[in-house]
Amino acid sequence: MAIRIEPRDPLTQAQGVEAGYAQTARRWPSQPLLRRPLGASELSGPQQLARRLPPTGGGKLGDLAGYGDKRAIGQLVRLRVRVLDEDGAPLPGTVVEAWHCNAAGKYIHPNDTHDAPVDPNFYGAARLVAGDSGLVELRTIKPGAYPVPDTGGWWRPPHVHLSVWGRVWLSRLVTQMFFPGEPLNEADAILNAIRDPGARERCIARLVPSKSTEMIFEHQLVVRGRKGSAALP
């Protein structure tokens, strides 16, 4: 099936250098990005990636929260993330990587120098494979907020990093999921680099009613690509 990729919309995608995020001015290219003709190389991609990137922590249902005396500290949440393409078709079998900090705002990573406690029962990374409806579920705890070093007061709101694959090489999506009603969402330099309010809103998960002991958040990820022939040279 031929997949068509259309240019990024500058309203719904960040554009590179952001005043509130100093590293962007050291890392985003100064030269304009180049347009190239797209063909088989860019419009194909790895198949059955789950064989190369096997699930960690549970397959379709990941669990970072644990149980009993191994329970991670924090508000218990269940994230339901659905992966679709631009036609709204689900992507069963796609790989989803999720990672986030603990309830105190600390990542399990040697590069995190933030002076916040490590939770011995929390390891904040899970790799999942989407089920038939493109859905992955992750039982975890709600991440905390944390200050970004050397920025004079930028605090990251609670967020979950998500990395997913679409149908082709150019469908790759790495993004972050935010939580509704968080005051820090209003000033975050990463969320607010997206100009279109609707596009920002779509990066914030939706709280749905829950009768269990877990708060349930639903979220949708749309990877680039729709059916149709690309205009090939």
Partner 1 sequence: MIRLIPTAEMTLGPFFPREFAEGANDLAQGASGEIIEITGRISELDGKALDNVIVEIWQADAAGRFDNPAFPGWGRAATDAQGNYRFRTIRPGAAPGRAPHVNFLILYSGLMRQLQTVMFFEDAADPALNVVKAKERLIAKPDGQNRYRFDIRLRGADETPFFDD
Secondary structure element (H or E) that encloses residue 199, with its range: helix 197-201
Q: How far is the CB of 75 from partner 1 (least distance, A)?
A: 21
Among 64, 96, 101, 160, binds partner 1 (CB under 8 A): 101
**Is residue 233 within 8 Å of 37, Cβ to Cβ?**
yes
Which CB, 172 or 210, lies closer to partner 1?
A: 172
| DSSP, res 170 | G
Q: Is 155 in the site for partner 1 (CB under 8 A)?
A: no
135-141 and 146-147 beta bridge pairing: unpaired
Q: Tell me how crowded residue 97 is: count the other CB atoms within 10 A of its CB.
A: 17
Among 194, 204, 205, 217, binds partner 1 (CB under 8 A): 194
Q: Is 80 in the site for partner 1 (CB under 8 A)?
A: no
Q: Is 18 in the site for partner 1 (CB under 8 A)?
A: yes
Q: Is 151 in the site for partner 1 (CB under 8 A)?
A: no
Q: Is 47 in the site for partner 1 (CB under 8 A)?
A: yes
Q: Is 27 in the site for partner 1 (CB under 8 A)?
A: yes
**Is residue 92 within 8 Å of 129, Cβ to Cβ?**
no
206-208 and 215-222 beta bridge pairing: antiparallel
Q: Is 125 in the site for partner 1 (CB under 8 A)?
A: yes
Of the candidate spans 62-70, 71-79, 123-131, 137-145, the one that interacts with partner 1 by CB under 8 A turns out to be 123-131
Q: How many residues does the chain have?
A: 233
Site for partner 1 in 199-218 (CB under 8 A): 199-200, 202-203
Which CB, 136 or 194, lies closer to partner 1?
A: 194
**CA 152 to CA 177: how far, in whole Å?**
24
Secondary structure element (H or E) that encloses residue 26, with its range: helix 24-27
Of the candidate spans 64-72, 130-138, 193-201, 210-218, the one that interacts with partner 1 by CB under 8 A turns out to be 193-201
Find residue 164's DSSP bridge partners: 96, 173
Of the candidate spans 31-39, 65-73, 132-140, 206-214, the one that interacts with partner 1 by CB under 8 A turns out to be 31-39
3-state secondary structure labels for all residues of 163-186:
EECCCCHHHCEEEEEECCCCHHHH
Q: Is 16 in the site for partner 1 (CB under 8 A)?
A: yes
